[in-house]
């Protein structure tokens, strides 16, 4: 309980800090967007049995804060537990969208609010040789898989995805749930992401 | 066929009992005499007075088993201090000792190992207690005497031996869930020849604690155990022992409403020993042991067509020669040499693996007037698949006076990678992931690559050229024996086990179907430490209270470090912000309870020749899996609440030879099928014993 209380104070300070910052700049609209996306559906076909996984990725654009079908205006894309970025080269996976942007990512082992700046040298992009910028597999990236008997995919608390968008803007993302309406009691609820993110619309600005 | 044979046997011994005039042995029913004579073999491989052994040991007598009306080995073990039966996959339960899993315990019957860990777990409900004379438990690593698997401890089950004259026993227990346990034992000994025969049938109609699914918690089963022993004394100096044991079990196998079938287990062992006594101070034993464990199961679909079949067939063969030299009262030496041949055939396996090993051990013991005792032991194991192991042990006990003695030991234990960890070749049919044994990787990955199944390889194949190392541990035990008063005995033991090279799975490649290929590797270092306390208080001749407690900390060293470094976080609700956890938030390994407690109050009513007891075991809260995604069991995860199991038993002896019993196990009817599937709920039973 003590930790949670401390935490509330932290958030408060954080929000306060960047509101006052905006006041100083005198900008009418905040350049930073703090939003929560709920139930982003990331279906997949195949992957069961010997069939290779397939199906199109659900693409997301930070600038418009929405899911998109655009072939160019997307930053990250989801298919089941896999998250790819619009930057780098194909990993050889079926139905991957073409990467035509400059997006990149890395995972920071800190709570969302404590990630206040971007380390540009930490970014990696997807590729066949190096794998995905956001690695898959239990404990490797953003989730752990509990195994039998529950078979749950649980986001690892304190893992923040730091994203460079296709056009050199920065965002940080914390995934909260992999299940529809945060309800992991039914297996059929899987592949619905809920996540918080903070997007800095100012190009090349590396602080949040 | 078996049933017919069984009923004939019963008929036979029934008539024998009617006409038998053989005098029965006079049994001294004095606890004090018994305590002095309690002898343990497993601790040193020679007969030793229990109280003088410098290692943490526990003894369960046939009398204690009978007083609890136990029928299977797991029933009686779970009532002992610091021992816990943990449910595992496939409806079996394994033994946890000093906080270590069942894979790290060695289970022996008459000194030779029980095999058949089909899913990694040795199912102890396979063993009937009907013909057990004594169960010996030695805690802490004992690889210096027993080699592989004796990492957390050793449980040695000593079975009954022929008694002078002709005698026998018939036992039946019937109880809840239509469970029937029937045993018959015959014993004959005259002059040079001793014979002992035992047969047991155990059946249960199963039970279901979860209504929402199509499968039972335990499916109906029945099993048979046959055991025959022959002792023959060629002369004072040459003795022969031969024993054969058969076990057969059939159980319904139900996967869902549309798939059902049967599973079957067949096990046999042959054990022989030739004892040569050269003179008063020198004797030798030549031992030969062979055993096979076979498990088969199938599922049919609703149309009766075969849907799946799997089998598991393990063979084990071991000749051993040992010799004991006692030049005088103070010094004794024991040395042994042996070979072990093991093979396994099973579905989803890469080839037909064979393990061959040879070993050599020796132990020196120094005893001075029951005051000081020292044991030094060393064993060397050479194996065709893994690195050689050298297992030392040192233990000592010092008795200050009749009221106080201290003992301590440091010893090494190891467990070799099992067949599955080396040769598994399994692909899950519904999800599509693959698990490969360590030794199968360098052959099978290139095959998968050639098939175009591998998208990317994360671990280079060159890593797999070195052997997978055996898991090993160093155990420290320190104990105090207090005899404050002849009526009150207290025993305290502090323990710590440091285990390294623990084997775990990791992802080695990603498949084109998006799933992973897993294999095994040496990674973890864990420790278990704690305290064990045992006390017995004799209020008067007829009333005895015994109690035991275990405090346990079982932790992963890397996890402790991660918490210390502030790298582990949690959330209070799924959407609340993450916060850092501190070192004290780390609970430890899964399925370990911090506290375990037991009580047993026995009362003997002389007037009615009635024995009764009430027994209680308590286990504090434990975690079964990580709920909050950080990969560790911490204070913010969901825990299974602590629980108590209470049993009572009453046994009345009539006319010396008959005994009637009644009791209720778990009479508060505790159950939690979601989390603790091996607790059935209240069991009411009645039993009858006829000795002749």
Which pLDDT tens digit goes with each residue over B561-599? 999 999 999 999 888 889 999 999 999 998 999 999 999
> Is the backbone peptide bond immediately before A149 cis, with ω within 30 degrees of 0?
yes
Beta pairing partners, B189: B165, B194
Q: Does pLDDT of B19 surpass 70? A: no
Q: Which chain B positions have a beta carbon within 8 Å of A174's beta carbon?
A: 578
- Put simply, whether A26 touches B (Cβ < 8 Å) is no
Per-residue pLDDT tens over the stretch A121-148:
999 999 887 889 998 878 889 999 887 7
Tokens of B79: 């009532």
What is the arithmetic mean of pLDDT over B220-237?
95
- Put simply, whether A130 touches B (Cβ < 8 Å) is no
Calculate how close chain A gets to B121, using CA atoms only, in Å: 16
Q: Does pLDDT of A179 surpass 90? A: yes
Contact B378, B410 (CB under 8 A): no
What pLDDT does residue A130 have?
80
Between positions 64 and 93 of A, the ones with CB within 8 A of B are 80, 82, 91-93
What is the arithmetic mean of pLDDT over B162-190?
94
Query: What is the distance between the alpha carbons of residues A35 and A199, in angstroms, rounded to a whole number?
Result: 8
What pLDDT does residue B51 have?
76
- Picking from B523, B536, B531, B573, the residue whose alpha carbon sits closest to that of residue B549 is B531
Instruction: Lowest mean pLDDT of A71-80, B126-135, B450-459, name the range.
Output: B450-459
Higher-pLDDT residue of B514 and B540 is B540
Instruction: Lowest mean pLDDT of B125-129, B296-300, B431-435, B619-623, name the range.
Output: B431-435
Query: What is the distance between the alpha carbons of residues B680 and B671, in angstroms, rounded to a whole number?
Result: 6
- Put simply, whether B30 touches A (Cβ < 8 Å) is no
- Put simply, whether B571 touches A (Cβ < 8 Å) is yes
Give me Rg for the CA atoms of chain A.
17
How many angstroms separate the Cα of A60 from the Cα of each of A86, A174, A202? Answer: 10, 15, 18
Model confidence at B46, in pLDDT bands (50, 70, 90)?
A: confident
What pLDDT does residue B3 have?
40
CB atoms within 10 A of CB A204: 12
Per-residue pLDDT tens over the stretch B390-409:
999 999 999 999 899 999 99
Between positions 447 and 466 of B, the ones with CB within 8 A of A are 455-456, 458
Taking an 8 Å cut-off on Cβ atoms, the answer to whether A111 and B575 are in contact is no
Model confidence at B241, in pLDDT bands (50, 70, 90)?
A: very high
Q: Which chain B positions have a beta carbon within 8 Å of A155's beta carbon?
A: 629
- Put simply, whether B90 touches A (Cβ < 8 Å) is no
What pLDDT does residue A30 have?
60
What is the arithmetic mean of pLDDT over B673-683?
87
What is the arithmetic mean of pLDDT over B217-231?
94
- Picking from B89, B57, B35, the residue whose alpha carbon sits closest to that of residue B491 is B57
What pLDDT does residue B218 have?
85
Tokens of B579: 């916060």
Higher-pLDDT residue of B38 and B24 is B38
What pLDDT does residue B18 have?
36
Between positions 148 and 187 of A, the ones with CB within 8 A of B are 148, 150, 154-159, 174, 176-177, 182
Taking an 8 Å cut-off on Cβ atoms, the answer to whether B456 and A111 are in contact is no
What pLDDT does residue B647 have?
96
What is the arithmetic mean of pLDDT over B469-475?
93
Cβ-Cβ pairs closer than 8 A, A with B, add up to 114
What pLDDT does residue A55 have?
87
Higher-pLDDT residue of B125 and B370 is B125
Q: Does pLDDT of A29 surpass 50? A: no
What pLDDT does residue B457 have?
83
Higher-pLDDT residue of A24 and B106 is B106
How many angstroms separate the Cα of B248 from the Cα of each of B120, B264, B460, B581? Answer: 20, 7, 45, 51
Per-residue pLDDT tens over the stretch B647-668:
999 999 998 899 999 999 999 9
* Sheet strands (E) in chain A: 32-41, 58-61, 66-68, 76-79, 82-85, 104-108, 143-145, 153-155, 160-164, 170-179, 190-200
Taking an 8 Å cut-off on Cβ atoms, the answer to whether A194 and B515 are in contact is no
């Amino acid at each position: 309980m003590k930790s949670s209380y401390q935490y509330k104070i932290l958030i408060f300070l954080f929000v306060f800090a960047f509101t006052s910052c905006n006041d100083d700049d005198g900008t009418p609209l905040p350049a930073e967007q703090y939003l929560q996306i709920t139930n982003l559906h990331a279906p997949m076909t195949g992957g069961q049995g010997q069939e290779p996984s397939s199906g199109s990725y659900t693409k997301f654009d930070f600038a418009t804060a929405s899911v998109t079908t655009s072939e160019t205006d997307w930053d990250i894309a989801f298919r089941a537990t896999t998250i790819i970025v619009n930057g780098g080269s194909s990993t050889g996976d079926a139905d991957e969208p073409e990467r035509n942007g400059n997006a990149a990512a890395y995972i920071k082992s800190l709570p969302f609010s404590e990630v206040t700046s971007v380390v540009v040298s930490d970014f990696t992009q997807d590729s066949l040789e190096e794998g995905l910028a956001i690695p898959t597999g239990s404990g490797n990236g953003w989730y752990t898989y509990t195994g039998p008997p529950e078979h749950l995919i649980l986001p690892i608390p304190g893992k923040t995805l730091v994203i460079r968008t296709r056009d050199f803007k920065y965002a940080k993302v914390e995934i909260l749930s992999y299940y529809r309406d945060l309800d992991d009691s039914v297996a059929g609820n899987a592949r619905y992401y809920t996540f918080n993110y903070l997007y800095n619309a100012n190009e090349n600005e590396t602080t949040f | 066929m078996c049933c017919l044979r069984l009923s004939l046997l019963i008929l036979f011994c029934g008539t024998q009992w009617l006409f038998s005039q053989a005098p029965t042995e006079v049994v001294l029913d004095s606890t004090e005499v018994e305590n002095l004579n309690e002898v343990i073999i497993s601790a040193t491989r020679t007969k030793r007075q229990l109280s003088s052994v410098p290692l943490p040991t526990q003894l369960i007598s046939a009398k204690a088993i009978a007083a609890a009306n136990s029928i299977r080995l797991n029933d009686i073990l779970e009532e002992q201090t610091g021992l816990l039966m943990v449910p595992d996959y496939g409806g079996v339960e394994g033994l946890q000792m000093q906080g270590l899993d069942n894979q790290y315990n060695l289970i022996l019957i008459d000194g030779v190992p029980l095999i058949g860990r089909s899913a990694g777990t040795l199912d102890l409900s396979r063993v009937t207690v009907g013909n057990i004379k004594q169960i010996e438990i030695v805690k802490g690593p004992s690889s210096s005497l027993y080699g592989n698997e004796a990492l957390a401890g050793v449980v040695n089950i000593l079975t009954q031996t022929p008694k002078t004259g002709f005698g026998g026993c018939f036992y039946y227990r019937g109880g809840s869930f239509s469970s029937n346990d029937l045993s018959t034992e015959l014993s004959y000994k005259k002059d040079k020849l001793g014979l002992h025969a035992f047969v047991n049938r155990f059946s249960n109609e199963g039970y279901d604690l979860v209504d929402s699914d199509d499968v039972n918690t335990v499916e109906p089963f029945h099993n048979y155990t046959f055991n025959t022993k022959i002792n023959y004394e060629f002369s004072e100096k040459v003795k022969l022992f031969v024993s054969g044991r058969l076990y057969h079990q059939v159980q319904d196998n139900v996967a869902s409403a549309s798939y059902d079938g049967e599973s079957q287990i067949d096990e046999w062992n042959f054990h022989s020993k030739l004892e040569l006594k050269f003179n008063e101070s020198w004797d030798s034993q030549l031992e030969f042991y062979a055993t096979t464990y076979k498990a088969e199961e199938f599922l049919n679909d609703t149309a009766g067509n075969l849907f799946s079949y799997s089998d598991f067939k393990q063979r084990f063969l071991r000749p051993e020669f040992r010799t004991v030299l006692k030049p005088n009262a103070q010094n004794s030496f024991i040395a042994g040499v042996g070979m072990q041949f093991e093979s396994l055939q099973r579905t989803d396996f890469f080839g037909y693996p064979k393990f061959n090993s040879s070993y050599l051990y020796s132990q020196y013991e120094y005893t001075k007037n029951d005051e000081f005792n020292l044991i030094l032991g060393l064993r060397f194991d050479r194996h065709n698949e893994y690195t050689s192991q050298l297992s030392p042990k040192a233990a000592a006990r010092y008795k200050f006076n009749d009221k106080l003695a201290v003992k301590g030991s440091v010893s090494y234990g190891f467990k070799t990678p099992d067949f599955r960890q080396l040769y598994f070749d399994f692909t899950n049919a519904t999800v599509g992931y693959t698990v490969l044994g360590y030794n199968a990787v360098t052959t099978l990955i290139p095959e998968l690559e050639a098939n175009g199944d591998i998208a990317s390889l994360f671990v280079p194949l060159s890593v797999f050229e070195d052997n997978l190392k055996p898991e090993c541990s160093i155990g420290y035990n320190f104990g105090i024996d207090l005899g404050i008063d002849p009526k009150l005995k207290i025993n305290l033991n502090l323990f710590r086990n440091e285990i390294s090279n623990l084997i775990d799975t990791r992802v080695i490649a990603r498949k084109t179907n998006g799933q992973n290929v897993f294999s095994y590797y040496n990674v973890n270092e864990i420790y278990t430490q704690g305290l064990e306390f045992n006390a017995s208080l004799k209020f008067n001749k007829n009333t005895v209270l015994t109690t035991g407690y275990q405090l346990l900390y079982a932790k992963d060293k890397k996890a402790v470090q991660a918490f210390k470094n502030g790298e582990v976080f949690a959330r209070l609700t799924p959407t609340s912000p993450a916060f850092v956890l501190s070192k004290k938030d780390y609970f430890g390994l899964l399925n370990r309870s911090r506290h375990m407690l037991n009580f047993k109050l026995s009362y003997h009513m002389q007037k009615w020749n009635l024995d009764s007891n009430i027994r209680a075991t308590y286990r504090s809260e434990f975690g079964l899996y990580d709920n909050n995604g950080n990969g560790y069991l911490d204070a913010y995860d969901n825990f299974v609440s602590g629980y108590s199991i209470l049993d009572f038993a009453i046994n009345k002896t009539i006319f010396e030879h008959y005994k009637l019993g009644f009791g209720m196990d778990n009479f508060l009817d505790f159950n939690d099928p979601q989390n603790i599937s091996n607790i059935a709920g209240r069991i009411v039973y009645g039993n009858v014993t006829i000795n002749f």
